[in-house]
Amino acid sequence: MFQAFETKTGPIVVAAGNDRLFAALARALDRPEWATDPRFRTNALRVEHKDALITEIEAIMRTRTNDEWLDRLTEAGVPGAPIHTLPEALAQPQTAAIGMIQPVPGLDLELMGLPVTFDGRRPSIRARAPDLGEHNQEILGTGRGAP
C-alpha cells in the first residue's frame, strides 16, 4: 500500500508495500488484528479489499495530527512523510541546504530550481524569462512585439 491520507493537520503519504510493513502499520493504527484478518493477510488480498481497508484507515488517520502520525509511523518502522504545499516545501531547511532556492539573474526574485543534480551539481537558473516580444528581432527579424 502506497497511499496519501488526510490527518487533522494535513496530508501524509504512507508506504507499507509488503506484509511486514503492513503488520507494522496495523499496529501503529491500533489495529494489530488486521495483520491476520483474512481480507488483509497478503498484498493481493489487501488489493482485493482495498476499498474497505482504505475507508477504515482514512477514518483512523483523521483522528490525529500529521506530526502525531509521523511519530507513530517512524516508531513502527513504517515509511511515511508529509505532503507539503509549495510554500511549506520552500520553508523547509533542507530546501535551502541543497540549493533548491536560486536567484533569477537580472531580477530581485528567487525561485525553486530543478529537483535534479548532475555529477553532484544542481543546474542553476541561467536567465530570466523574456518579456513578450523581447527576442522577435533576433528570431523573426521584426520589431519588438510585432508578429
**In the 3-class helix/strand/coil scheme, how is the chain assigned residue by residue?**
CEEEEEECCEEEEEECCCHHHHHHHHHHCCCHHHHHCCCCCCHHHHHHCHHHHHHHHHHHHCCCCHHHHHHHHHHHCCCEEECCCHHHHHHCHHHHHCCCEEECCCCCCEEECCCCCECCECCCCCCCCCCCCCCHHHHHCCCCCCC
Q: What is the mean pLDDT of residues 127-137?
A: 90
**What pTM value is reported for the model?**
0.72
All residues at 6 or more sequence positions from 10 whose CB lies less than 8 Å from its CB, including other chains: 66, 82, 83
For residue 147, pLDDT over 70 is answered with: no
pLDDT tens-digit readout, 21-72 = 999 999 999 999 999 999 999 999 999 999 999 999 999 999 999 999 999 9
Q: Please report the domains of the chain, with CATH numbers, ordered by start residue.
A: 2-82 (3.30.1540.10), 87-130 (no CATH)
pLDDT tens-digit readout, 73-125 = 999 999 999 999 988 988 999 998 988 999 999 999 998 888 899 998 899 99
